[in-house]
């Protein structure tokens, strides 16, 4: 199992917020043991002379990779808005990926409770709750 986290954060440089992925060279980051977001200088990291700068963030949302891919092989993270099929019902639904009580699930507005990730298939990522708020209305 690969532990991957993406981060949504806002500060003076990104007042509207920005999504950070650990494998992106443009905005490399690390989380310290306190969960603080750190910018990492990639060049220094490759020279084994790592330098990290703590950045003051107004808002940080850490999202865990679910270990699942959608039908287009895109990684699915917590807080992604997805469209999916429930095989038992044969219908498509829309919901938000979440982590509750030790497992990944999907929260669907027009259903009570949440759905375990194993109960759905044909998943398509539509967006996420930070960059596509209009999709969850």
pLDDT at 43: 44
Quick one: 66-136 is in which CATH superfamily?
Answer: YopX-like domains (2.30.30.290)
- Asked if residues 5 and 31 have their Cβ atoms less than 8 Å apart, the reply is yes
- Which pLDDT belongs to residue 123? 96
Domain ranges for the chain, please list them: 5-60, 66-136
Q: What is the DSSP secondary-structure string of 43-75?
A: HHHHTT---EEE---SEEEEEEEEEEE-TTSPE
Using alpha carbons only, how large is the chain's radius of gyration in Å? 17
Q: pLDDT by residue (tens digit) across 75-103?
A: 999 999 999 999 888 889 999 999 988 88
For 9-36, the pLDDT digits (tens) are 877 777 788 887 776 656 666 666 666 6
* Contact partners, residue 10, CB within 8 Å, separation at least 6: 16, 17, 18, 57, 58, 59
pTM of the model as a whole:
0.78
């Amino acid at each position: 199992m690969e532990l991957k986290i993406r981060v949504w954060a806002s500060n003076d440089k990104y007042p509207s917020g920005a999504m950070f992925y650990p494998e992106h060279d443009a905005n490399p980051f690390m989380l310290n043991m306190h969960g603080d977001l750190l910018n990492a200088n990639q060049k220094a990291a490759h020279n084994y002379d790592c330098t990290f700068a703590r950045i003051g963030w107004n808002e940080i949302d850490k999202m865990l990779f679910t270990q699942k891919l959608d039908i287009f092989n895109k990684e699915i993270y917590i807080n992604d808005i997805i469209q999916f099929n429930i095989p038992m019902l044969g219908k498509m639904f829309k919901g938000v990926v979440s982590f509750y009580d030790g497992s990944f699930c999907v929260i669907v507005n027009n259903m009570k409770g949440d759905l375990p990730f194993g109960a759905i298939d044909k998943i398509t990522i539509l967006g996420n709750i930070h960059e596509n708020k209009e999709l969850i209305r």
